[in-house]
Amino acid sequence: MTSSENPSSTGAIWLASIAVLAAVAASTWFLDSKARATDAAVRELAAETAQLRRTAELIRLEGKSQGRGIGAILEQIEFWAPQLATAATPHPAAQAIERSLNEALFAIEALGRDAFATIAARLENGQQLDDETRRWLLRGALRADRPQGLRLAAGFARGTIGVPSPNFRLSAARELLANDKAFAGEVLRQIVDIESARGVTRQPPPELAPDYERAIGVTSGGQFHNFIALFASSGHPEIELALRQILGRNEHDRLTILECVRELGRLKSKAAAPQIRELFDHPPGNEYNPMFQNDCLAAIAEIEGAEACSWLKEKLQTERTEMVAGRLQELIKQLCGGG
């Protein structure tokens, strides 16, 4: 004997299920709303607490200084930064100095944009300041007003503001990379395109021409080769193209060409392989340098792998320098099975 379900009973169960689901949904929505409200309140409280801490740090620094506000902070930075430059690292004393400098940056955040103009003026007119002090002041400018700080850092990286040293230009570029990688990539792309180790050697774009006019004869190309690795670390979409262009320009010195060869090897740039082979045969200035030759070999090996075996073996037949011949033998053994 079979039993049949009561339609009214089934309908009641169905309605009850719908009611339960609706209640669960309502409870979930209510709890989610409460959670969002709680999260917002927590974030607001955290922001207020952080601002109170910044203000407290500013008051503490003022108590240790003769000045007030940004003057007290600059006094602390200009006292501690030169000591950090000469301190042995890693060392507890250096770590304590760096903590003091970071506390000064934290206090700058309490003043915000009101502090920027004073910091910028100190940087632009502070030729007597050492590079470490200027580096921390630039960090302070970025804390006070990030958009204006980025523009200021770009000017120092280009060498178009004040009388920047090669070291400080590189420091400014690193600060750009740490704060806005995409913008840093654009600035560095311009630098490696316009300059060489001899300074400004190509026409800058119209929007930068007035700034570079002021920099010609003032901006030094010293340590220019170090900009290559910084540019390569930026993730700019034209890294490979820019480095290959540099390989084809005769104004660049061996160190700059060497950095480009290394980076193109890391990028495994197939298009750069013929240029690197040509540089192996005819190095910059026709000055044979075993270390440069070996870097060219390493780049070709990174780019082509076993495909380079025939070329490597051919070069071994004519190589007369022991250091380079040894490197060729190592690569042949590694890539070609020693044969």
List pLDDT tens digits, range 260-283: 999 999 999 999 999 999 999 999
pLDDT over threshold 70, residue 53: no
Average pLDDT (7-21) is: 60
pLDDT digits (tens, 9 = 90+) for 17-34: 676 566 666 667 766 766
DSSP helix/strand/coil, 201: coil
pLDDT digits (tens, 9 = 90+) for 119-129: 999 999 888 89
Residue in 155, 128, 241 with CA at minimum distance from that of residue 138: 155
pLDDT at 85: 86
pLDDT confidence of 86, banded at 50, 70, 90?
A: confident
Q: Are 204 and 212 in contact (CB under 8 A)?
A: yes
Query: What contacts 231, CB < 8 A, 6 or more positions away?
Result: 185, 188, 189, 191, 192, 239, 242
- Supply the pTM of this predicted model: 0.80
pLDDT at 120: 96
The span from the CA of 317 to the CA of 280, in Å, is 15
pLDDT at 261: 98
Comparing 63 with 76, the larger pLDDT belongs to 76
The span from the CA of 100 to the CA of 121, in Å, is 23
The span from the CA of 332 to the CA of 311, in Å, is 10
Residue in 113, 95, 161 with CA at minimum distance from that of residue 134: 161
Q: Which two tokens stand for residue 301?
A: 């090996």
pLDDT at 189: 98
8-state DSSP, 130: -
pLDDT at 39: 66
pLDDT confidence of 93, banded at 50, 70, 90?
A: confident
The span from the CA of 120 to the CA of 111, in Å, is 14
pLDDT at 30: 67
pLDDT over threshold 90, residue 318: yes
Q: Is it true that the peptide bond before 284 is cis, omega within 30 degrees of 0?
A: no
Query: Exposure string (b/e) for 117-135, b if CB count within 10 Å is 16 or more?
Result: ebbbebbeebeebbbbbbb
Over the chain, what is the mean pLDDT?
86
Q: Which two tokens stand for residue 75?
A: 């006094």
DSSP helix/strand/coil, 29: helix
Lowest mean pLDDT among 37-41, 99-103, 144-148, 224-228: 37-41
Q: Which two tokens stand for residue 1?
A: 């004997």
The span from the CA of 325 to the CA of 302, in Å, is 18
Average pLDDT (2-10) is: 52
Neighbour-count burial of 322, counting CB atoms closer than 10 A to its CB (0-12 exposed, 13-18 middle, 19+ buried): exposed
pLDDT at 310: 97
pLDDT at 52: 43
pLDDT confidence of 293, banded at 50, 70, 90?
A: very high
Q: So where are the chain's domains?
A: 45-144
Average pLDDT (290-303) is: 98
Average pLDDT (142-167) is: 93
Q: Are 291 and 326 in contact (CB under 8 A)?
A: no
Average pLDDT (38-49) is: 56
Name the percent of the chain lying above pLDDT 70: 78
